Amino acid sequence: MNTREVILVATATLISAVASTIGFRFFHRSQNHAKSSQNGTVSSSRNPFDPSKRKGYLSWDDYFMAIAFLSAERSKDPNRQVGACLVSQEGIILGIGYNGFPRGCSDDKLPWAKKSRTANPLETKYPYVCHAEVNAILNTNHASAAGQRLYVTMFPCNECAKIIIQSGVSEVIYFVEKRLENSDIAYVASHKLLSLAGVKVRKHQPLMNEIHLKFEEH
């Protein structure tokens, strides 16, 4: 099956789909040390006459980053799974994506290796893989990415930064950065490009450390 699928869903449909057995974590020690939340749980001690709203619900940032994390679970890459979620300024999900081979290219006929025993780059995944950020932008069903926000589980590389800039994305929210003491040229270049283009960049600071999702009837 094609690993890069166009996923065009409304927020309500997406919420129904993500109620799955997958549990994913924000591996981060939040200063707030907020308790984790489990979807679909109903407190038996809740006063049915209490007019106040529920506490402990997801913040918008946690929600969209969670969608990016869940999208990463679709990736077939055995080494690294990355997810991205493109969101409008009104909080509407425009596109989601994950790292994988282009549409129509079999997951089983191209290599997933990071290195080649014969030093042949064509025996590695790198010449073939589409990154999550690019897929999220392309999966918008022709909605404009200009002025919108992109949530991504990993800081984008320089090639993705070019696409982000050219598509007009105004802000990138990332969870983790693959960069060691400024030694990785691709990510140093990415920072430089995004800064010069005026794209706002910030690291996601989760309010919830862990979110559980599961199928369950109530």
- Give the CATH number for residue 161: 3.40.140.10
Residues in the chain: 218
Q: Alpha-carbon distance 70 to 120, whole Å?
A: 33
pLDDT tens, 8-60?
333 333 433 333 333 344 543 333 334 444 445 555 577 889 899 888 889 99
Query: Which residue range(s) make up the domain with 140?
Result: 60-207
Q: Is the pLDDT of residue 110 over 80?
A: yes
The residues that are catalytic are 133
Q: Alpha-carbon distance 5 to 178, whole Å?
A: 26
- Mean pLDDT in residue range 172-194: 87
Residue 30 domain flag? no
- Mean pLDDT in residue range 72-86: 97
Mean pLDDT of the chain: 83
For residue 16, give the 3-state DSSP assignment.
Answer: helix
Using CB atoms within 10 A of its CB, is residue 93 exposed (0-12), middle (13-18) or buried (19+)? Answer: buried
Residue 8 domain flag? no
Helix 11-18 / helix 60-72 crossing angle, nearest 10 deg: 60
Residue 139 domain flag? yes
Q: Alpha-carbon distance 138 to 101, whole Å?
A: 14
Residue 48 domain flag? no
Q: Which helix (H) or strand (E) holds 158?
A: helix 158-167
pLDDT of residue 44: 56
Using CB atoms within 10 A of its CB, is residue 105 exposed (0-12), middle (13-18) or buried (19+)? Answer: middle
Q: Are 167 and 148 in contact (CB under 8 A)?
A: no
For residue 105, give the 3-state DSSP assignment.
Answer: coil
pLDDT of residue 43: 55
pLDDT of residue 41: 53
- Weakest mean pLDDT among 46-50, 68-72, 83-87: 46-50
Q: Are 22 and 70 in contact (CB under 8 A)?
A: yes
- For the chain, the first-to-last Cα distance in angstroms comes to 33
Q: Is the pLDDT of residue 214 over 50?
A: yes
Q: Is the pLDDT of residue 218 over 90?
A: no
The total number of structural domains in the chain stands at 1
Q: Are 167 and 137 in contact (CB under 8 A)?
A: yes
Residue 114 domain flag? yes
pLDDT of residue 36: 42
> Angle at the Cα of 72 (from 68 to 74), degrees rounded to 5?
125
